[in-house]
DNA sequence: GTTTAGG
DNA sequence: CCTAAACAACGCACG
DNA sequence: CGTGCG
């Protein structure tokens, strides 16, 4: 692979894309530059979900065929362009990290250049990192469970939310599940948001016995796991429009509730 | 992927 | 100049 | 505490 670089001007900011021809997704022949261009093409939607959110980057610097080289990056590197925005966040351990804040399309492109395939924003905004403005329902089908079951659990999640005056916005996860995001007032701490998610999950489980589960141990799970723990501090979910580190390069795609019935997640790549 | 140390 | 090496996460459940 | 899980 020849060593070269391409400079993209994004909203007046020059972003250097190194090794643009490096193949990230061998099965479909997509390169790093292809991935950057994909993110730029959906920048508006991506930023609707990520803008000003401190984010963990899931980096695969040598593509999806080198999972042994993949890692999560929370602390943004010291060496970075001066325009890169950051936000210090605190972990329950008491430690803290200076995390990248995805302020605009240039930030996304810069992150992708470092090998970030999916973006994992905290459910908070820069300036108030202790109060989530988003509750997230993460639906993970256990192995062998058809997507159809996910599509039957999702509307029940919606019902429970609505009974509490909340509206859920569904999207495919880009892998085998679904995510439902709920806008909330940035008023409660992580612990309270997680408690609400737990209560919601338990109610969904109660209404869908054998189809929805909140059991932590895989062995005890049956059907679709409603993963309320993703609402804890420092736990994240791949953002809307994130590409996922899988061979087919499927992406997380927001959908309308009317589309949920009969949805095929593999259609979004 | 980037940076740094060492030859 | 070039290459090798170091580095890049952490919370919660359970027993 | 170590292990499982995401
Ligand atoms: Mn999931
Ligand atoms: Mn999950």
Q: Could you give all domains of chain A from N- to C-terminal order, each with its CATH number? A: 5-129 (3.90.920.10), 134-231 (3.30.70.3300)
Mention every residue, 6+ apart, whose C-beta is less than 8 A from residue A43: A105, A108
For strand B, give the nucleotides within 7 A of a protein CB: 1-4
What are the backbone dihedrals phi and psi of residue A178, each rounded to the nearest 5 degrees, phi first?
-145, 150
A61 touches strand C (CB under 7 A): yes
A198 CA: nearest nucleotide by C1' = C12
Contact by Cβ (8 Å): A243, A38: yes
DSSP string, A145-200: --HHHHHHHHHHHHHHHHTTT--EEEEE-SSSSEEEEEE--TTS-HHHHHHHHHHH
Question: For the whole prediction, is pTM greater than 0.90?
Answer: yes
CA of A217 to C1' of C14 (A): 9
Neighbouring-strand partners of residue A16: A7
**Strand A96-101 and strand A178-183: pairing?**
unpaired
A84 touches strand B (CB under 7 A): no
Q: Say if residue A234 is exposed, middle or buried (CB neighbours under 10 Å; 0-12, 13-18, 19+).
A: middle
Please report, in tens digits, the pLDDT of each residue of chain A (269 residues total): 455 788 999 999 999 999 999 999 999 999 999 999 999 999 999 999 999 999 999 999 999 999 999 999 999 988 899 999 999 999 998 899 999 999 999 999 999 999 999 999 999 999 999 999 999 999 999 999 999 999 999 999 999 999 999 999 999 999 999 999 999 999 999 999 999 999 999 999 999 999 999 999 999 999 999 999 999 999 999 999 999 999 999 999 999 999 999 999 898 88
ipTM reported for the complex, 2 dp = 0.78
| A3 CB contact with strand C at below 7 Å | no
Residue A22: CB less than 7 A from any atom in strand B? yes
| Nucleotides of strand D within 7 Å of the protein's CB atoms | 4-6
CA A126 to C1' C13, in angstroms, rounded, equals 30
Quick check: A115 CB within 7 A of strand B?
yes
DSSP states along A47-66:
HHHHTT-EEEEEE-TT-TT-
């Amino acid at each position: 692979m020849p060593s070269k670089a391409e400079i993209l001007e994004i909203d007046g900011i020059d972003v250097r894309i190194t090794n643009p021809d490096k193949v990230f997704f061998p099965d479909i022949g997509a390169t790093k530059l292809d991935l950057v261009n994909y993110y730029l093409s959906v920048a508006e939607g991506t930023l609707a979900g990520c803008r000003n959110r401190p984010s963990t980057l899931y980096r695969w610097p040598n593509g999806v065929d080198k999972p042994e080289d993949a890692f999560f990056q929370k602390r943004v590197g010291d060496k970075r362009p001066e325009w890169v925005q950051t936000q210090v966040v605190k972990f329950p351990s008491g430690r803290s990290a200076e995390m990248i804040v995805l302020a605009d399309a240039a930030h996304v492109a810069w992150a992708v250049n470092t090998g970030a395939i999916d973006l994992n924003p905290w459910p908070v905004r820069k300036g108030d990192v202790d109060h989530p403005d988003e509750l997230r329902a993460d639906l993970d089908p256990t192995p062998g469970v058809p997507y159809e079951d996910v599509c039957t659990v999702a509307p029940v999640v919606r019902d429970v939310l609505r009974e509490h005056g909340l509206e859920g916005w569904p999207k495919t996860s880009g892998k085998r599940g679904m995510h439902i995001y709920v806008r909330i007032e940035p008023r409660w701490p992580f612990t309270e948001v997680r408690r609400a998610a737990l209560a919601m999950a338990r109610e969904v489980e109660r209404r869908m016995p054998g189809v929805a589960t909140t059991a932590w141990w895989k062995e005890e799970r049956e059907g679709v796991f409603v993963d309320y723990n993703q609402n804890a501090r420092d736990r994240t979910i791949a953002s809307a429009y994130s590409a996922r580190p899988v061979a087919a390069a499927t992406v997380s795609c927001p959908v309308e509730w009317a589309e949920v019935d009969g949805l095929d997640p593999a259609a979004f790549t």
